[in-house]
Structure 1
Amino acid sequence: MSLFIFFSVLAAAVLHAGWNAILKLGTGRIATMMVLSGLQGILGLAIALAYPLPALHVWPWIVASGAIHSAYKLFLTYAYEHGDLSRVYPLARGTAPLITLAVGALWLGEAVSGAETAGILLLGAGILILARGIWTGGESLRMLPFALGSACATASYTLVDGIGARLADASSVYVGWLFAVDGAIFAAAMLILKGRASLPDGWAIWARGAVAAAASYGSYAVAVWAMTLAPIALVAALRETSILFAVLIGWLVFGERMAPAKALSVAMIAAGVIVTRL
């Protein structure tokens, strides 16, 4: 992985942590996510329609990705209803690099060096330690199934998009169509589950959703582009350094407690990133 791709993925990680923090702000998280998904879909469709349609064999990957992204957003939104940013986010994102590493190596035959594997495992261990407070801190266990569902969805769409973007002529077109599909599926699901309560009812929600949509779209467009040029497992692991940034946001912005175990896990995450570059 080149330094340019490396730092691009790190920038994408900052954007990803940022839009999750925006989602955690205030109330109306489902409506905020509706705005995010809708604006992403419109932007994606506008970009995608400027290019020729993807080949027929790419469409199953696009549709599958859109459905998985919608499931991810659904799980994540409900998880934030029951837990802090610095707990939900690590648990939701933390197991994905390990799942991606195993599947990428066993099924896709991707070559990942020993140092990169060690870095990914160290990164994953730090993330899991960071998330342990859900059991030891007396926090609500209701977040657990939603956070774990989000983790499974993260690993799934990472692998699907890594393969789908490589099959497509351009990653920007692939991302545009997947967000268009995702926006339609998520809107339909929320209207069925929540009805009118899922619709935005104030400018604050529209503003938060718009900023989060821009950050989310930019973050994932960079990640998918990187997966066309570097091993999927390595890109996925570097992207999960967003957890480091989310913890800092939770501490500095939301006033969440920085316990010694949390500080240790953050150090392990940083070390994991360094090891992947050895």
Structure 2
Amino acid sequence: MTEWLISIEGTETGHQAALALALMAAFLHAVFGALQKGRHDPWLTRGAIDASYCAMAAPFALFVVPWPEPHMWPIFGAVWVIHMIYKLLQGWAYTKGAYTVVYPVVRGTGPLFTVVGAYFIFDEVFTATQWLGVAVLVAGIFGLAVYNLIYLTAARDTLNAALGLAVLTGIFVALYTTYDAYGIRATANPFTFLAWFFMIDGIAMPFIAARRWCRMENPPDLGPLMQRGVIGGFVAFLSFGSIMLATRLDKVGEAAVLRETSTVFAALIGWLVLKETVGPRRIALMALIAVGAVIVEMGG
């Protein structure tokens, strides 16, 4: 499997595989976001998820894949810091606003900065058509933000904070997407990076969640919480793992933009599962974000 992945890097087969991986990551990341925002406190859910994928990744990191090369340890350190800040911002944003408010802005802001970062780090250049797609995507993002500012009545007192945190979180999405792409390309075996990433990345949040759980007046039962965490752990493997592999196989910017079709899935999940009011205008604006991502792919 590893040899085949390495052999298709930069080829048309690699491009098609990266496309499929990015779209799979889009759907699964929307599911992941809904799991964190859903039934339980988002901090507790994130802690349960991280504990699960840390425990699941550890045997593979320690005993199955080759150990990282010496130059990888500083990279893993930087990756941990970036992802930790991202998770703290994401959890904070979810405590301030609804899933269908926060998620599209986070996921839509990220690719704009990722495209810029990929230009400076990986010398990736977008065509005029692809930049049009980015413009359409950004129009959908800011249209959604303006709509929420004008029409949303629930949690009005925290809406500005939620949108501000969502944009800041999106910047860190771009940062981790770009730096993860650098990291997974810096090691000979991509599965070495993935296994060690999940083991290291899952260490801190369980302690933060446990402290929060202990301080609650009526903490939730651990059984259902950990069940959600295990499900989220498997979703995280497939979602984050897919997008990381996509950025190794093909262009980082295109993979990042295509992943943001997750906003369409997020709208459906928010409406059908979380019972949040979405409305036709917000659905249209979320779809505009997805259309921008499609234009980027077609213009490549």
State the TM-score, normalized to the length of structure 2: 0.84
- For residue 127 of structure 1, what is the aligned residue in structure 2? 141
* Counterpart residue type for residue 113 of structure 1: T
The 5 A counterparts of 1:267-278 are 267-278=287-298
> C-alpha distance in 2, partners of 1:190/1:145?
24
Q: Which amino acid aligns with 1:16?
A: H
Q: How far, CA to CA, are the matches of 2:126 and 2:238 in structure 1?
A: 26
Q: Give the one of 186, 193, 202 matched to 1:183.
A: 202
Deviation of 1:11 (Å): 1.2
| Structure 2 equivalent of residue 231 of structure 1 | 251
Partner of 2:58: 45
Which range moves more in the overlay, 61-70 or 140-149?
140-149
What is the TM-score of this pair, normalised by structure 1? 0.90
2:115 to 101, 122, 134: 101
1:120 is displaced (CA, Å) by 2.7
Query: Who is 1:77 aligned against?
Result: 91
* Of 167-176 and 132-141, the range deviating more from structure 2: 132-141
Query: Of residues 263, 268, 288 in structure 2, which corresponds to 1:243?
Result: 263
SS of 2:278 mapped into structure 1: coil
- The alignment status of 1:156 with 2:175, answered yes or no, reads yes
Question: In 2, are the aligned partners of 1:41 and 1:183 still within 8 Å (CA)?
Answer: yes
Structure 1 residues 18-73: Cα deviation after superposition (integer angstroms, max 9, x where no partner): 01111222233222111101111122222222122111112222121122212222
Q: 1:217 aligns with which of 221, 237, 253?
A: 237
Distance 1:215 1:61 in 2: 24
Distance in 2 between the 1:191 and 1:255 partners? 28
SS of the equivalent of 1:131 reads: helix
Contact 1:31 1:200 in 2 (8 A): no
- 2:278 corresponds to 1:258: yes
> 1: CA distance between counterparts of 2:79 and 2:71?
14
Q: How far did residue 226 of structure 1 move?
A: 0.6
Q: What is the aligned partner in structure 2 of residue 196 from structure 1? A: 214
Q: 1:143 aligns with which of 162, 178, 190?
A: 162
1:255–1:115 Cα change, 3 Å? same
Separation in structure 2 between the aligned mates of residue 253 and residue 216 of structure 1, nearest angstrom: 19
Structure 1 90/43 Cα, relative in aligned 2: closer, same or farther at 3 Å? same
**Amino-acid identity (%):** 29
Following superposition, the deviation at residue 189 of structure 1 comes to 4.7
- State the one-letter code of the partner of 1:129: G
Q: Moved runs in structure 1, 4+ residues, more than 6 A?
A: none
Contact 1:79 1:143 in 2 (8 A): yes
Aligned position for 2:46: 33
Instruction: State the match for 1:6 in structure 2.
Output: 19
Distance 1:172 1:145, change over 3 A: same
Deviations 1:128-171 (A, max 9, x none): 32233442224323323432332122111111101111011122
Residues 205-231 of structure 1 deviation map (CA, whole Å, 9 limit, x = unaligned): 111111111111210101000101111
Q: Please say which of residues 33-42 and 266-275 is displaced more in the overlay.
A: 266-275
Equivalent residue in structure 1 for 2:186, among 117, 142, 167: 167
The letter for the 1-side match of 2:31 is G
2:260 is aligned with what amino acid? E
User: Any stretches of 5+ residues in structure 1 without a counterpart?
Assistant: none
Distance 1:32 1:164, change over 3 A: same
Q: CA deviation at 1:241?
A: 1.2
Letter in 1 for 2:19: F
- Report the Cα offset of residue 8 of structure 1: 2.1
Corresponding residue for residue 80 of structure 2: 66
